[in-house]
Chains A and B, each alone.
Chain A
Amino acid sequence: MAFTNEQLERYSRHIILKEIGPKGQKKLMQARVLIIGAGGLGAPAALYLAAAGVGTIGIADADVVDLSNLQRQVIHSTADIGRPKVESARDSMLAINPEIDVHTYYEYITSENISGIIRDYDFILDGTDNFPAKFLINDACVLEEKPFSHAGIIRFEGQLMTYVPGEGPCYRCVFKEPPPKDLVPTCREAGVIGAVAGVIGCLQAMEAVKYITGAGDLLTGRLLTYDALKMQFRTIRLPRDSHCAVCSGERTIHAPFDYELPSCDLKNR
C-alpha cells in the first residue's frame, strides 16, 4: 500500500515522527478501534482517532444527543440534539477524515452482543459512565483477549489504565465488584468539567495509537490519575490480583454477564 500525495500531506506530522513514521501510519490506517460510549470520553477520543487515520472506527451508544451533553461531548453539535449519538459522531468523524470507515452500533452493549462486536476490533476504548458496563467491557475483553483502555471522570478528576492480555492487571483486579447504585457519585449527580473529559478521552486515544504503532510504554500495571484542581498527574503502580475472578488462573467468570441495571438510569434515558 503506497501513500497518495494527499495522505502524505494529511499525515505528514505523524510520518515525520521517528516513533510513528510511514510504517506506523500504515498500521494506523489498517487498525480497527471500537469506542464504547459516544459521550464525554468517547467524543474527543473518536475525533482524534479519526483525524489520526485509524482505518476502521466502531462506535457504540444507544443514546440520543441531549442539550446537557454539549458542555463536554464535543463530537456533537447543537443541531444534533435528538439524533442518535452514533450518527452524529460518525458525521463528525467523516467530516474530519472521509478516508476512514465508521461502523455504528445504535444499541446497548450487553453480555449478549459484546463478544461478537469486540471480536472485530484490535483495541477497545471504554468510554461508558456506569460500572455495570465497565465490568462487562473488562470481562469481555479479558475473555476475548482484547486490549482495552479503561477511563473514568468525575468533577475535576480523571483516571485511566490500559489492559493488555497477558500483561498487567485488569479492571477487576483493582475493583472486585461494581459498587451499589448511588453509593458512588456519578457525573450526573456530582458534575464534571468538560475539559477533564477531553484530557482523559485524548489520553485514551493516545493509548490506542501507541498500542497500534508500538510506540512507547503503555499504561499497563499502572493507574494514571489526574487532578485538575491541583493540576497533578500521578501514576500508581497496580499489582495483578492472583485470585482475580476473570483474569487469573482461578477464573470463576467464564462468560460475560450483566449486572442489574439501576432503575434510575433507565428512567433518565
Chain B
Amino acid sequence: MAEYRITDTVDITDVVCPVTFVKAKVALEELEEGEILSVHMNDGEPVQNVPRSIKEEGHRVLKLIHNEDGTFDLIVQKA
C-alpha cells in the first residue's frame, strides 16, 4: 500500500523546457494544499530541473520513481 494517495497526475513528456515546469506548476495550482500530484516526465533535462523548480516554489517532493521505460514519476505534495 502506498504511503500517499495521488490526487491528480500530469504528463509532461509531450513538452520541452520551460513548458515542462509550467505544465507541472499549472497542475499543482489546481490542487488544494496537502494534495498530491504525480508528474510523469522524461529523463534528462526534465528530471534534472523540474524537481528542483518545484522545490523552489515551496512544494514537497515525496518521491522520484524511475520507471522501467526510462521515464520518471515525481510525487509532489502541494504546499
Which A residues form the contact surface with B (CB < 8 A)? 3, 5, 8-9, 12, 15-16, 21-23
Contacts and interface: CB of A to CB of B under 8 A. Distances in A.
B30 to A, nearest CB: 8
A5 B29 contact: no
Given A8-B22, A12-B19, 9 more contacts: A5-B15, A5-B23, A8-B19, A9-B22, A12-B22, A15-B22, A15-B26, A16-B25, A23-B29
A119 B77 CA distance: 44
Interface residues of B, number: 10
A14 to B, nearest CB: 9
Contacts of A21: 25, 29
Consensus secondary structure, chain A interface: helix
A79 B29 CA distance: 45
B26 A3 contact: yes
10 cross-chain pairs, A with B, having the tightest CB-CB distances, nearest first: A12-B22, A22-B26, A9-B19, A22-B29, A15-B22, A8-B19, A8-B22, A12-B18, A8-B23, A5-B15
Nearest to B28: A22
Contact of A16 (B14, B15, B18): B18
Contacts of A15: 22, 25-26
B63 to A, nearest CB: 24
For A3, A5, A8, A23, the residue with the greatest tally of chain B CB atoms inside 10 Å of its CB is A8
A9 B12 CA distance: 12
B21 interface: yes
19 contacts: A3-B26, A5-B14, A8-B22, A8-B23, A8-B26, A9-B19, A12-B19, A12-B22, A15-B22, A15-B25, A15-B26, A16-B18, A16-B21, A16-B25, A21-B29, A22-B25, A22-B26, A22-B29, A23-B29
Interface string B15-55: 10011011101100100000000000000000000000000
A213 B15 CA distance: 26
Nearest to B18: A12
A16 B32 CA distance: 19
A12 B25 CA distance: 10
A21 B22 CA distance: 9
For B14, B19, B29, the residue with the greatest tally of chain A CB atoms inside 10 Å of its CB is B19
Contacts of A23: 29
For B18, B19, B22, the residue with the greatest tally of chain A CB atoms inside 10 Å of its CB is B22
Contacts of B26: 3, 8, 15, 22
A103 B15 CA distance: 33
A12 B23 CA distance: 9
